[in-house]
Structure 1
């Protein structure tokens, strides 16, 4: 089975204008990402502030994203919630709208045990006919998908990948050693471990900083995947920008840069608040210094 994508998928931000979704800016951002080698678009994820979006906004963003992508890159819909029934409904909508796959976060707040995770993810995957990416981010959900659970779920024909945002490469290694890597792949969910993750056998990254430097990340991926480990030196040059967008809770810092590039105002929805002016200036300066250095 082929992966949905290889390389850099971008968890795209949701632009706002006076607290309304700015669909024109969203379309422009998609064009920028595709023109700069993004390999997939992930819509309505954490970076897209999905918990603060209305049901109508979630559906509209997905429909607009699929239309704007026009089949040039896969579109993956974030459809996971802490309700299996709601997740099934949203996943069916995504499939009918033309999404190429869905991404399912582990249930949060009510959480689950591992048996519950198997039942939850399997029920959603049974209800649709497009690929499923599991999303393991214990720092946000308060629980993890244990490697043995990943192995069990990987046998489902529709469950094809894991977004691994655990941040512990020992977990990554354990999962990679257990699963059939011809049938099930891992994407990193942490920008800062891309080079090491790919060297271990990961097939790409679902990125935050890719909202503004997708091509540079894709270059690192392609070289690393081809065995050119000198790309690690190139990756090191990206770290100031990666670090800059990690100074506060995602997506607060990355939206500083998307707004600088013209993809919506610097607006977030509560409970998220913008960074202070000094921090904003520092984020922009880190990006500008990087871009200036890349032109030398």
Structure 2
């Protein structure tokens, strides 16, 4: 297995203007993130409102990410759904569009068993022949990938990583103890990256790094040589991370990215824009963190 990245990747937002994808702004944001130290970009995920994008929009965003990145960082496309055939189709098209890897969420609503997860993920991975990041987010899917299931899935040469949004550090410890050393595990929660790194996590797939890519990568880099200093850096950004909990992701980060000029303050239903009184504390927290 080859690690896709180490450190801070960004679950990038998708900018809209009058309900159309704003590709020019998206390209500017991609370049900003890479220039400021993002180690990979995850496109069309939850933060990117992938579930409300058309197939054409999703593929255009992948193509544009690949072109703008120009090989500087991996472009990882979220292609997972609760339908194996649809997930396979999305994944093959993402590969054709130039994605370096794909991310597959556990099926939701029509949940499956652990045996079903193994068949679902292996079928897609074997057919697509790209590196696969599995996504374990029980708060959104109401199911989890058991450690024993991960151990079995890690035997597949294409399944190379896990985005762990369980928030369960014991789960992480068990994964690290039982999985191969070259199987990467990334945090899906910005607010717990220090304990995640302490238990051997390989990085984070971040929401807040849409606005602070350099600072979030610095926490990981610093942790490798000076954990105490990294903890201090995290304490400085912690109030900003906490301020994003004012509402459901990605509504808060879209408002902050809009403030920075990388999106209109626009989301697609069923999401709704934040009200001004909810935005202001978050914007204030950002400026206090940046010292401006």
TM-score bracket, normalised by the shorter chain, equals over 0.9
Distance in 2 (alpha carbons) for counterparts of 1:227 and 1:98 = 37
C-alpha displacement of 1:64:
1.0
Answer yes or no: is 1:202 the counterpart of 2:217.
no
Please tell me whether the aligned partners of residues 62 and 98 of structure 2 are also in contact (alpha carbons under 8 angstroms): no
Task: State the SS of the aligned residue for 1:239.
Answer: helix
| Aligned match of 2:189 | 190
C-alpha displacement of 1:22:
0.3
Query: What does 1:62-73 align with in structure 2 at a 5 Å threshold?
Result: 62-73=62-73
Task: State the SS of the aligned residue for 1:269.
Answer: coil
Distance in 2 (alpha carbons) for counterparts of 1:189 and 1:227 = 23
Query: What does 1:123-162 align with in structure 2 at a 5 Å threshold?
Result: 123-162=123-162
Please tell me whether the aligned partners of residues 199 and 225 of structure 1 are also in contact (alpha carbons under 8 angstroms): no
Please tell me whether the aligned partners of residues 81 and 104 of structure 2 are also in contact (alpha carbons under 8 angstroms): yes
Give the alignment's Cα RMSD to 1 decimal.
1.0
- Alignment size in residue pairs: 292
TM-score normalised by the chain length of structure 2: 0.98
Structure 2 unpaired stretches of 5+: none
| Aligned match of 2:225 | 226
Task: State the SS of the aligned residue for 1:65.
Answer: helix
Structure 1 unpaired stretches of 5+: none
Distance in 1 (alpha carbons) for counterparts of 2:237 and 2:85 = 41
Task: State the SS of the aligned residue for 1:45.
Answer: coil
Deviations 1:205-245 (A, max 9, x none): 00000100111111110111235332111111110111111
Distance in 2 (alpha carbons) for counterparts of 1:179 and 1:128 = 23
Please tell me whether the aligned partners of residues 10 and 211 of structure 1 are also in contact (alpha carbons under 8 angstroms): yes
TM-score normalised by the chain length of structure 1: 0.97
Distance in 2 (alpha carbons) for counterparts of 1:7 and 1:195 = 12
| Aligned match of 1:246 | 245
Q: Indicate how the Cα distance of structure 1 residues 57 and 139 shifts in structure 2: closer, same or farther if over 3 A, else same.
A: same
Distance in 2 (alpha carbons) for counterparts of 1:7 and 1:70 = 20
Deviations 1:124-154 (A, max 9, x none): 0011121000000000011100111111101
Distance in 2 (alpha carbons) for counterparts of 1:74 and 1:146 = 27
Distance in 1 (alpha carbons) for counterparts of 2:83 and 2:22 = 28
